[in-house]
Amino acid sequence: MFLGTLIPVRIALLAGANPSVIRYVKNSEICETTPNVTQISGYVDVGTNMSMWFWFFESRNSLETAPFTLWLNGGPGCSSMIGLFKENGPCLVNADRNSTTLNPYSWNNLSNMIYINQPIGTGFSYGNTDMVNSTETAASYVWTAFQVLFESQLFWKYASREFIFATESYGGHYGPSFQNRLIASGGIDDIPIVVKALMINNGWFDPLIQNIAWLNFATHAPGYGQLQPDEVLKDMSNALYGSNGCIVQEKACYAAGHSTSSNRICQDADDYCIDNIYYPAVEGYDQHDLRQNLSILSPPEYYMDYLREKHVMEKIGAEVKYEECANAPMEQFAKTGDASFCPTFPPRDARTWLPQLSALANSEMKILIWAGDADINCNWLGSHASVLAMDWYGNKTLHNTPFTNMTINGIPVAAVQNVDNFSFVWVYAAGHLVPAFQPQVALEIFLQVIQKEQLHSV
Does some domain include residue 176? yes
Note the pLDDT of residue 267. Answer: 83
Split at pLDDT 50, 70, 90, the class of 346 is very low
Name the domain count of the chain.
1
Asked if residue 146 is part of any domain, the answer here is yes
Cα 318 to Cα 324: distance, rounded to the nearest angstrom:
14
Q: Which of 436, 429, 456, 437 has the alpha carbon at shortest distance from 445?
A: 456
Is 20 inside a domain boundary?
A: yes
Task: Give me the pLDDT at residue 294, please.
Answer: 66
Lowest mean pLDDT among 36-50, 57-71, 190-204, 424-438: 190-204
Mean pLDDT of the chain: 88
pLDDT in tens, 208-247: 999 999 999 999 999 999 999 999 999 999 999 999 999 9
- Please indicate, yes or no, if residue 336 is contained in any of the structural domains: no
Task: Give yes or no for residue 292 having a pLDDT over 90.
Answer: no
Residue type, 283: E
- The Cα–Cα gap between 84 and 205 comes to 23
Which one has a higher pLDDT value, 448 or 337?
Answer: 448
Higher pLDDT, 407 or 15: 407
d(C-alpha 312, C-alpha 81), whole Å? 14
**Domain contains 120:** yes
How confident is the model at residue 141, as a pLDDT? 87
Strands 91-93, 39-47: pairing kind: unpaired
Residue 16 lies in a domain: yes
Q: CB-hemisphere CA count at 13 Å for 438?
A: 25
The residues annotated as belonging to the active site are: 169, 375, 432
Q: Is 117 helix (H, G, I), strand (E, B) or coil?
A: strand
Gap between the Cα atoms of 370 and 227, Å rounded: 22
User: 91 pLDDT exceeds 90?
Assistant: yes
Residue 388's pLDDT is 98
Question: What's the angle, vertex CA 315, arms to CA 314 and CA 320, rounded to 5?
Answer: 40
pLDDT interval class at 440 (50, 70, 90): very high
Would you state the torsion angle of the CA atoms of residues 74, 125, 122, 354, taken in this order, to the nearest 10 degrees?
A: -30
User: Out of 15-19, 38-42, 145-149, which region has the weakest mean confidence (pLDDT)?
Assistant: 15-19
The maximal CA–CA distance of the chain, rounded, in angstroms, is 68
Confidence at residue 8, expressed as pLDDT on a 0 to 100 scale:
54
pLDDT of res. 227: 97
Q: How far is CA 218 from CA 265, 376, 444, in A?
A: 27, 8, 30
Stated length of the chain: 458
Mean pLDDT of all residues in 417-433: 97
Domain-embedded: residue 269: no
Residue 456 included in any domain: no
CATH number at residue 404: 3.40.50.1820
User: Do the Cβ atoms of 141 and 44 come closer than 8 Å?
Assistant: no
Domain extent for 56:
7-206+352-450
Q: Is residue 186's pLDDT more than 70?
A: no
DSSP for 266-335 reads HHHHHHHHIIIIIHHHHTTSBTTBTTSBTTB-SS--HHHHHHTSHHHHHHHT--S--BSB-HHHHHHHHT
